[in-house]
Structure 1
Amino acid sequence: MVTPPTAPTAPGRPALRIATLMILLAACAPARQAQPAPGMASFRPAMGDVQRVPKIGDLGVWMLTGSLRPATWLDQPYHSRTLREPVNVVMLDRAARTPEEATARLLAALTAAGYPPRSMHSDGYWGLLGGEIRSQLPRSGQGEAFSDGPAYASNNHGRMFGPWKVPSGYVFTGAFSREDLSLLPAPRHTYNSFQVARENVAARLTARSAYKKTSYLNLNSRLDTSMTTTGDHDGRAVLLVAAP
């Protein structure tokens, strides 16, 4: 009589889970962006890459890489096209008295909204306003982004840039997106939506912080050509204001 094969023993299952987790963590390993060269003497945004926003200034409409080029989801194609990453969140703090206070208030607001800094994201990005670039927040240099969940699962995440001083307060710009984790053909983060993340972070900030959603800014940043796309982005950024 042949004895039927037994089911795998319990000790093998934790090992499989650990191996799976290691694969996921490797897929989420942060990609570092090169730091831009000192100064902006040679930096010239392309036509349409900056939009004049009343009471805020000339706003760069893309998240920029360390080479000061529009970010393109780490060059992963989306339906065979280049996916460009737009600025879709603008936050104005009318109560802060210094850049340091504005930054501290922004970090506290995002944490209260359920978007603390989380690791395993690409970093080293930049934003542009009024001809001046600002590095991303979080600024840990440890592969962090503001996110509502861990990087090894679907999550909404983003980076903020600033602050810049304007007559009405301190301005931050941000680029938020929803991503999924794909295991095939190789583990990687894949694009899901820009609008879903924008609306989620705006709703949470409005409900849980001093920042309140007030309107949308038309940045004319929707792209849909044979070579380049902005996915479901509608060309707008949500404006959130923290009043005195």
Structure 2
Amino acid sequence: MKRSRLLPLLALAALSAALLAACAPSASAPAEPLPDPAAYRPTDAPVSVPGVGEVGRWMITKDLVPATWLGEKLGGRTLREPINVLFVDRAARTPEEATSRLLAAMNAAGYGPKSGHSTGYWGEVGGRLYSMLPTGKGEAFSDGPFWLPNNHGRIFGPVPLASGYAFTGAFSREGIRLLPRPGHPYRSFQVAREDLADKLNSRSMYKRAGYVDMGSRLDTPTETTGDHDGRAVLLVAGGS
């Protein structure tokens, strides 16, 4: 291979390794035992969503606390990661069918599972925590590779309904930072939410059905939700 072609590949490999390390938990100390998800008690009141139930406002970490972008700060403030997408599949008859239909829709929208992301998150509905999709190691749903700016997110469920199943999701746009420390800085919650909704609406069985006010916009001296407007987009498959 010519040197002119080898150098960019080596640079990309080094960048990928640095970004993967930035997404991984620190190995400097022995890991503490993780709390039991069954012991989770929400710190904020959930939101009553008609036809779905009591939906938690935040993506939840392995430590059973609201996710804060792996500790990254935004303007010196803690950045909370909101639930900003709700999926309802009225046609799915089993949890397996609901999951299969959702995965097919995400792939059709160009948001298939991709590596290079942190995992182990949860979503809350009805006082219970639901594990995340996708389930692959280091995977999230994304519209591009992790070494480029991308829209990405995690989905939680399936949640059984009177007719069909629901999922919740947390989606955001991340950038790329090389210095002073490699990582994925926050760029937007709204951009990712709207792009995902538009792609699903045009390419899959999931169609836009409005928004749900989650009351999750934060703008305090110590905490923020960036450009999040406090709403989740509602996407419905199999009927209105």
Give TM-score scaled by structure 1 length. 0.90
Report if the CA contact (8 A) 2:37-2:129 is conserved.
Answer: no
Matched, 1:159 2:154: yes
1:16 to 7, 32, 41: 7
Taking the aligned partners of 1:61 and 1:173, their CA distance within structure 2 comes to: 10
Moved more, 27-36 or 175-184: 27-36
Matched, 1:176 2:171: yes
Partner of 1:5: none
Runs of 5+ in structure 1 lacking a partner? Answer: 1-9
Matched, 1:84 2:80: yes
Matched, 1:104 2:100: yes
Report if the CA contact (8 A) 1:27-1:189 is conserved.
Answer: no
Q: How does 1:48-127 map to 2 (within 5 A)?
A: 48=45, 50-127=46-123
Using the TM superposition, give the Cα deviation of residue 207 of structure 1 relative to its aligned residue in structure 2, in angstroms.
0.2
SS of residue matched to 2:185: strand
Taking the aligned partners of 1:113 and 1:11, their CA distance within structure 2 comes to: 37
Summarize deviations over 1:199-240 as a string: whole Å, max 9, x none: 000000000000000110000000001111000000000000
Partner of 2:138: 143
Matched, 1:47 2:44: yes
Using the TM superposition, give the Cα deviation of residue 32 of structure 1 relative to its aligned residue in structure 2, in angstroms.
5.6
Report if the CA contact (8 A) 2:41-2:127 is conserved.
Answer: no
Give TM-score scaled by structure 2 length. 0.91
Using the TM superposition, give the Cα deviation of residue 11 of structure 1 relative to its aligned residue in structure 2, in angstroms.
5.3
Matched, 1:187 2:159: no
**How many residue pairs end up in the alignment?**
232
Runs of 5+ in structure 2 lacking a partner? Answer: none
Moved more, 164-173 or 98-107: 164-173
Taking the aligned partners of 1:189 and 1:15, their CA distance within structure 2 comes to: 25
Percentage identity across aligned positions?
Answer: 56
Partner of 1:27: 18
SS of residue matched to 2:175: strand
Max radius of gyration: which structure?
1
Taking the aligned partners of 1:219 and 1:233, their CA distance within structure 2 comes to: 11
SS of residue matched to 1:239: strand
Summarize deviations over 1:101-129 as a string: whole Å, max 9, x none: 00000000000000000001111111110
Taking the aligned partners of 1:79 and 1:19, their CA distance within structure 2 comes to: 33
Taking the aligned partners of 1:191 and 1:203, their CA distance within structure 2 comes to: 21
Report if the CA contact (8 A) 1:32-1:123 is conserved.
Answer: no
Taking the aligned partners of 1:101 and 1:213, their CA distance within structure 2 comes to: 21
Using the TM superposition, give the Cα deviation of residue 154 of structure 1 relative to its aligned residue in structure 2, in angstroms.
0.7
Matched, 1:218 2:218: no
Using the TM superposition, give the Cα deviation of residue 44 of structure 1 relative to its aligned residue in structure 2, in angstroms.
1.7
Q: Give the CA RMSD over aligned residues.
A: 1.8
Taking the aligned partners of 1:114 and 1:207, their CA distance within structure 2 comes to: 11
Partner of 1:37: 35
Letter of the structure 1 residue corresponding to residue 237 of structure 2:
A
Report if the CA contact (8 A) 1:23-1:187 is conserved.
Answer: no
